[in-house]
Amino acid sequence: MSVDAATVRRIAHLARIAVGDDEVPHLQGELNAMLAFVEQLSEVNVEGVEPMTSVTPMQMKKRPDVVNDGEIADDIVANAPATEGHFFLVPKVVE
Amino acid sequence: MTDLTSLTLAEARKGLAQKSFTSLELTDAHLSAIEAARVLNAFVLETPEQARAMARAADGKIASGEGGPLAGIPLGIKDLFATRGVRTTACSKILGNFVPTYESTVTSQLWRDGAVMLGKLNNDEFAMGSSNETSCFGPVGNPWRREGSNATLVPGGSSGGSASAVAALLCMGATATDTGGSIRQPAAFTATVGIKPTYGRCSRWGIVAFASSLDQAGPIARSVRDAAMLLRSMAGHDPKDTTSVDIAVPDYEAAIGRSVKGMKIGIPREYRLDGMPAEIEKLWSEGAAWLEAAGAELVEVSLPHTKYALPAYYIVAPAEASSNLARYDGVRYGLREQGRNIIEMYENTRAEGFGAEVKRRVMIGTYVLSAGYYDAYYLRAQKVRTLIKKDFEDCFAKGVNAILTPATPSAAFGIGEKGGADPVEMYLNDIFTVTVNMAGLPGIAVPAGKDAQGLPLGLQLIGRPFDEETLFSLGEVIEEAAGRFTPVRWW
């Protein structure tokens, strides 16, 4: 499989990465080189094989449903580019 | 007094215990070495004041007999580990001046045991690369150069700063991480020892995530014993990482010098590649002969799905990366670029903040997870991954204790030499290491010889899950036979 220019733009938008028209041909070439490389997986017989979900056999760990962290709002917003009090500031989302 | 930076970690521990020198003296010697080696670009942040404060504290504890196992030992920390109050960037513009308000579990255990932080080490952006050329701080120089050449070579990646700093005697050991070979390949390129432990051995909490089902932390050091000492402190169960395994951490150092007599060493025929340089082939046979001479038994084994590990990796790793890196949106931390609306703000931030390799991988990952392609790519790759793991399980079920392979298909190459036209050319560096991440196994790279141009080459040993001890025992046999390799100082 290979991707065309329109697909490159669609993927870029899904990935939330702005891509200029001048960058599309180059990205298309690179993505297609990667897709050509992974194409060889189609020759593997995976009939009846379970997809891997955990590389080490382990039971999903559970912990008591209690509050064990928090009250660190200052820490949470400490690195934010724009804040007001303990809120993150973003451009207007709802009209 | 001999140059304190040339001591191994084990020798420094002895010297500190015998009061031959203080941690402050040891730390100052390394800080001077770092200053004199800035041309290597191994450190992206030096923290001399913090280092001296930690060294003084260690000296106090050593004096009162309360020094931990790493008391007073100066280390470098890969910039992927969150360090409280010390800028942590993953060498990406998108994290900008991120200063964590918390400490990664692995580094907190090193400080608990008395180690001293010299600073943060360069790496490929978000650990995506095999040459340390994708860092937003620029490439790292390898202390090794070809005989008769002044060309600067790459130290490998993604833990290039870690490997370069350890090889150049700028720190006694370093933390590193390995998703497809990022500890073992740079170790092989710099004649240092690097171990990627079993998945789950070290906590991933507080380490900038790349591909969560593959990422593991481990040390790079100048000897097998030093690596064992560091891993003992770094490893251990952490309730904050649900994939961290709750089993006791052995005294890895005790495994060094243990007899390897009667151990079965697998030599996988699929690792004999067409066009592999003759000197790598020769090194591999030599390594096998050394283990045999120490009493191990060599057996040819087959890992039939080996050739599919790298293509499967280039689906699984970018898929997980595209998900992990979704958090860099310009809202909660790091860089923000303005846009006319919030979507444009996200898109502009990520376009400006991510480098070319990261964008490429995030986009591939987005594509293979997108509607209509998930089954053909991601699901198939995870099935292939099951088969790769089964290859190893079958091999270990036949009584094989460890598998010996070359660490890399070549020695270090020049800056700008690879991957310019086709990204896959760079990816092939990890062909011998990536299988180990896909199967979650431990792997160690040990320096074993030099090529015709005088560049170091390494061998890799792959172990059973949670049997890092066998790797340390076997690794030391190779180290003893091959000897140590030190670069000639040019910086």
- B349 within domain boundaries: no
B445's torsion region: left (phi>0), alpha (psi -120 to 50) or beta? beta
- B249 within domain boundaries: yes
Measure Cα distances from B461 to B130, B148, B183, B448, B468 in Å. Answer: 20, 32, 13, 12, 10
Has residue B1 got a pLDDT over 60?
Answer: no
Number of H helices and number of E strands within chain A?
3, 2
Test mutation, B327, B364, B370, chain A, max A CBs within 10 A: B364
Contact residues on chain A for B99, CB-CB shorter than 8 A: 78-79
**What is the percentage of chain B residues whose pLDDT exceeds 70?**
100
- ipTM summary value: 0.96
**What is chain A's length?**
95
In tens, the pLDDT along B142-190 reads 999 999 999 999 999 999 999 999 999 999 999 999 999 999 999 999 9
Contact residues on chain B for A55, CB-CB shorter than 8 A: 199, 213, 385, 389, 438-440
> Which helix (H) or strand (E) covers residue B434, if one does?
helix B434-439
Number of A to B CB contacts under 8 A, please give it.
163
Give the list of residues 6+ apart from residue B283 with CB closer than 8 angstroms, or none.
Answer: B406, B448, B449, B457, B459
Taking only residues 21 to 50 of chain A, the set having a beta carbon closer than 8 angstroms to any beta carbon of chain B reads 27, 30-31, 33-35, 37-42, 44, 46, 49-50
- B219 within domain boundaries: yes
- Average model confidence (pLDDT) for chain B? 97
pLDDT at B78: 98
Please give the angle made by the CA atoms of B57, A75 and B137, to the nearest 5 degrees: 70
pLDDT at B422: 80
Contact residues on chain A for B336, CB-CB shorter than 8 A: 81-82
- B463 within domain boundaries: yes
With tokens 């290979």, the residue in question is A2
Residues of B annotated as catalytic (active site), given as ranges = 158, 182
Least confident piece of the model among A60-64, B288-292, B462-466:
A60-64
Contact B362 A31 (CB under 8 A): no
Cα(B441)–Cα(B198) distance, integer angstroms: 5
**What is the percentage of chain A residues whose pLDDT exceeds 90?**
81
pLDDT at B424: 85
pLDDT band at B276 (very low <50, low <70, confident <90, very high): confident
In tens, the pLDDT along B385-429 reads 999 999 999 999 999 999 999 999 999 999 999 977 788 888 888
Has residue B481 got a pLDDT over 70?
Answer: yes
- B125 within domain boundaries: yes
Cα(B51)–Cα(B54) distance, integer angstroms: 5
With tokens 């020198």, the residue in question is B21
- B123 within domain boundaries: yes
Strand ranges in B79-123 using DSSP code E only, listed in sequence order: 116-121
User: Would you say B195 and B231 are in contact if contact means Cβ atoms under 8 Å apart?
Assistant: yes
Residue B207 burial by Cβ neighbours in a 10 Å radius (0-12, 13-18, 19+):
buried
Contact B363 A27 (CB under 8 A): yes
Please give the angle made by the CA atoms of B88, B93 and B98, to the nearest 5 degrees: 30
Cα(B159)–Cα(B141) distance, integer angstroms: 12
- B68 within domain boundaries: yes
CATH code: domain of residue B173: 3.90.1300.10
**Single-letter amino acid, residue B346:** Y
Q: How far apart are the first and last CA of chain A?
A: 41
> Which helix (H) or strand (E) covers residue B403, if one does?
strand B402-406
Give the orientation angle of helix B48-63 with respect to helix B23-36, to 10 degrees. 160
Contact B465 A56 (CB under 8 A): yes
Q: How many domains does chain B have?
A: 1
Using DSSP's 3-state secondary structure scheme, residue B122 falls into coil
The alpha carbon dihedral of B240, B331, B78, B51 has a sign of negative
Please give the angle made by the CA atoms of B354, B165 and B353, to the nearest 5 degrees: 10
Has residue B274 got a pLDDT over 90?
Answer: no
The parent domain of residue B156 ranges over 4-262+411-424+441-482
Residue B288 burial by Cβ neighbours in a 10 Å radius (0-12, 13-18, 19+):
middle
pLDDT band at B483 (very low <50, low <70, confident <90, very high): very high
DSSP assignment letter at B443: E
Q: Which of B382, B268, B251, B267 is nearest to B315 (CA)?
A: B382
pLDDT band at B2 (very low <50, low <70, confident <90, very high): low
- B216 within domain boundaries: yes
